[in-house]
Amino acid sequence: MKGGIVPYADFTSSALWRRTCDYQGSKLQEASPWRACRGYRKARRAFDIMHLCHLGFIRDVIGSVLKDTLESGELQRFVQLPGGTWDECLHAWTRMAQRFAKDRKLDLYMKPLTAANCGLTQIAYPELTSRVKASKARVLLAFTCHFDMALDQEGANSHALLRQRMVWNLDSALSIFGTASRPHAATSDVHLGCRRFTTFLLSYQKLALNALQQQRLLFKLRPKLHYLQHLILDTQQTELNAMAMSNFGDEDHMKVLKSVSHACHPGKVLTSWAKRYLIKKCLLLRRYEYRPQS
């Protein structure tokens, strides 16, 4: 990975891409077709953590952890079905996850996980089905962390401990930014959350490298993991809470735009839609640009 074959998969501080990355706002970095829009600046862009994380590599993390623990027999022992099929064990695991969510007043109403919708029945990297939406994927990650940390740590090997560290750091980082102030997080939360994200990336990279050496299809390295590094750097510079800049609000706003479209003449739907959406984004940018003096 460090040899440049897959440069985006190098998450270390000595990665080659860091030498050419400029966050000082130079004219070269500002080059973009969006410059034609009045008021465009690179500083006004933000990374969408929802599509990077919740709808991105969280699906790989959960799918790989489930496959890894099923192959080792850890999941079967956890759900107390030592002789059960993978589907039976995943059904039991889903029920336990739903009880976990209910006790914490979280929503995890979904169909039981199976080997098919976790990508375990084909010769490919495991991936959670796209039918599991962003909020439910986050709750599943929290239970995956609880499940992995509850496994026997005394007899755990280095691989299991590394996997636990990877899942725990990702869950912890998302929890930190999820509870931090918005739109700007406290400096201590930014430092701690970014450090947890970095530890997650390094642990995930090590797990992926070990899986490749063992010729196992686990812990897929996606470009979205590389973009998480840019999100970390951007958060450290601006101290903007990544959750505040996510696309969750825009997805909810689509319901309003749909009702606007129904009330418009067919020839003016796109114009009316664009005006409403532009007003929302302008108000959002003005709110995020304001930061009271401490």
Say yes or no: 55 and 157 in one domain.
Answer: yes
64 with 209, same domain? yes
Same domain as 193, residue 142: yes
Do residue 233 and residue 256 come from a single domain?
Answer: no
DSSP, collapsed to helix, strand or coil, labels residue 240 as strand
Residue ranges making up the domain that contains 281: 249-289
Q: Is residue 184 part of a domain?
A: yes
Q: Would the pLDDT of 24 be above 60?
A: no
Boundary of a domain, candidates 217, 238, 259? 238
Residue at 170 is within a domain: yes
What pLDDT is stored for residue 25 in this prediction? 52
Would you say 81 and 89 are in contact if contact means Cβ atoms under 8 Å apart? Answer: yes
Residues 56 and 145 in one domain: yes
> What are the Cα distances from residue 245, in Å, to 235, 280, 288?
10, 14, 9
Q: Is the pLDDT of residue 58 over 60?
A: yes
Using the predicted structure, report yes or no on whether residue 23 has a pLDDT greater than 70. Answer: no
Q: Is residue 37 assigned to a domain?
A: no
Taking 70 as the threshold, does the pLDDT of residue 228 lie above it?
yes
| Pair (214, 274) in one structural domain | no
Domain membership of residue 274 (yes or no) is: yes
Interatomic CA distance for residues 139 and 142, integer angstroms = 5
Cis peptide, bond prior to residue 266, ω within 30 of zero: no
**Do residue 269 and residue 202 come from a single domain?**
no
pLDDT of 70 > 90? The answer is: yes
Indicate if the pLDDT at residue 142 is higher than 70: yes
Domain for residue 226, yes or no? yes
Q: Cis omega before residue 292 (within 30°)?
A: no
Domain assignment present for 243: no
Same domain? 155 vs 257: no
Q: Is residue 38 part of a domain?
A: no
Q: Are residues 191 and 126 in the same domain?
A: yes
Question: pTM of the full predicted structure?
Answer: 0.81
What total number of domains does the chain contain? Answer: 2
| 40-48 long-range Cβ contacts below 8 angstroms, 24+ apart | 43/238, 44/285, 46/234, 46/240, 46/245, 47/227, 47/230, 47/231, 47/234, 47/242, 47/245, 48/245, 48/246, 48/247
Q: Are residues 73 and 180 in the same domain?
A: yes
